[in-house]
Amino acid sequence: MAITTHVTTAHTRMIKLDIREITRRLNGALGGTLVASLSGSKDAKLPYRWAKTDGPAPKNEAMRRLQFAYEQWTMLAEAEGEHVARAWFIGANPWLGYDTPVTAIREDRFKDVATAAQAVIDDSFSG
C-alpha cells in the first residue's frame, strides 16, 4: 500500500507543475546535458530554453519523458537523497540490462525504469 501511495503522491505533484517548471527542476538536479539526453534532444542547451517562460515548448514525446523523469527523480530524491538519485540516473543499472536510466527513459522504457526506481526505494535493488 505504501508503494501505491508514494507513486500516487509523486505523480499528483508532477501533474500540477507546468513543463517549464519540471524542466527547470530537472536542469537544476541533473544538468542540461542529461536532461537533453533523456528527453531525446541532441542539443544540450535546449532544456534551458524549454525552461524559459518565452522559450519553445518541448515536443510531446520529449514532454512525456521529462514528466516521467521528474516523477522518478522526486520519488528517489525523497526516499534516498539527491546525490543517490543523481547517481542512479547516470549509473549502469542491472534492472535495465546495464543501461542507464537516462538511456532507458530516452528509449521510452518507462515501465522498466519505474520498476528499477522502485527497487531502490524498496531496498530490493542489488546493483
pLDDT in tens, 5-58: 555 565 555 566 999 999 999 999 999 999 999 999 999 999 999 999 999 999
Write down the pTM of the prediction.
Answer: 0.86
Domain that holds residue 69: 2-121
Distance (Å, rounded) from C-alpha 86 to C-alpha 52?
A: 23
Report how many domains make up the chain: 1
* Three-state DSSP class for residue 93: strand
62, part of any domain: yes
Distance (Å, rounded) from C-alpha 126 to C-alpha 116?
A: 10
13, part of any domain: yes
Q: Is the dihedral of CA 105, 32, 92, 79 positive or negative?
A: negative
Output DSSP code: residue 42: S
Report pLDDT for 1: 44
For residue 8, what are the contacts with CB-CB under 8 A and spacing of at least 6? none
127, part of any domain: no
Mean confidence (pLDDT) of the chain:
90
Report pLDDT for 10: 58
126, part of any domain: no
